C-alpha cells in the first residue's frame, strides 16, 4: 500500500518546492533530473541549460531570465500553501543575481514563475506526492 501523503508537513512542502523547480525547468527545455529530497526543508533539483553554461548577451538574456523564473518556481509553489520557509532565501538571492543587467525586474520574474507554476500545477502536485511517498 502506498504511503499516505500528508500535505501539511514540511517534508511535503519541500517535495512541492523541488517539484516546481523541476516542472518549470522541463517546460523551458532545460535538462533536469528527478529532484532529490534529503530531508524536510532540504532538497535539490539538478538542472542545466541544453548545451551548458551561457555567457550573458542580449541574445541570451531570455535564458538568464528563465533561470530566475526556475529559481522562483519553488517559493511560488510553496506560497500557494501560505508558507515561505527560510530555505527559500537562496532561491531569491540566485534569482536576483541572475536578473542583474537583464532589464527584467524581480517582480516580473516572480509573476512569470507564478504563471508557469499555475500552468503546471497538476504535474507539480503529482510529482510532489510521488517524491513524498518515495522519500
Query: Tell me: the pLDDT tens digits for 84-124?
Result: 555 678 889 989 998 988 889 999 999 999 999 999 999 99
The answer, as to whether pTM is greater than 0.85, is yes
Q: Which residue has the higher pLDDT, 57 or 71?
A: 71
User: Using alpha carbons only, how large is the chain's radius of gyration in Å?
Assistant: 15
Sign of CA dihedral 16, 41, 84, 99: negative
**How sure is the predictor about 4, in pLDDT bands with cuts at 50, 70 and 90?**
confident
Q: Which residue has the higher pLDDT, 8 or 110?
A: 110
Q: How far apart are CA 75 and CA 96, in angstroms?
A: 14
Three cell numbers written together for 130: 510521488
Provide the pLDDT for residue 53: 52
Residue 5 per-residue DSSP state = P
Going by C-alpha positions, the residue among 95, 124, 119, 89 that lies closest to residue 107 is 95
Amino acid at each position: 500500500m502506498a504511503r499516505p501523503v500528508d500535505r501539511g508537513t514540511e517534508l511535503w512542502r519541500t517535495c512541492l518546492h523541488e517539484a516546481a523547480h523541476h516542472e518549470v525547468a522541463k517546460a523551458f527545455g532545460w535538462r533536469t533530473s528527478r529532484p532529490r529530497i534529503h530531508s524536510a526543508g532540504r532538497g535539490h533539483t539538478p538542472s542545466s541549460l541544453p548545451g551548458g553554461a551561457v555567457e550573458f548577451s542580449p541574445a541570451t538574456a531570455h535564458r538568464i531570465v528563465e533561470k530566475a523564473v526556475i529559481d522562483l518556481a519553488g517559493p511560488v509553489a510553496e506560497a500557494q500553501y501560505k508558507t515561505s520557509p527560510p530555505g527559500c532565501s537562496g532561491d531569491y538571492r540566485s534569482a536576483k543575481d541572475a536578473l542583474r543587467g537583464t532589464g527584467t525586474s524581480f517582480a516580473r520574474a516572480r509573476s512569470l514563475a507564478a504563471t508557469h507554476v499555475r500552468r503546471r500545477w497538476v504535474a507539480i502536485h503529482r510529482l510532489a506526492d510521488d517524491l513524498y511517498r518515495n522519500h
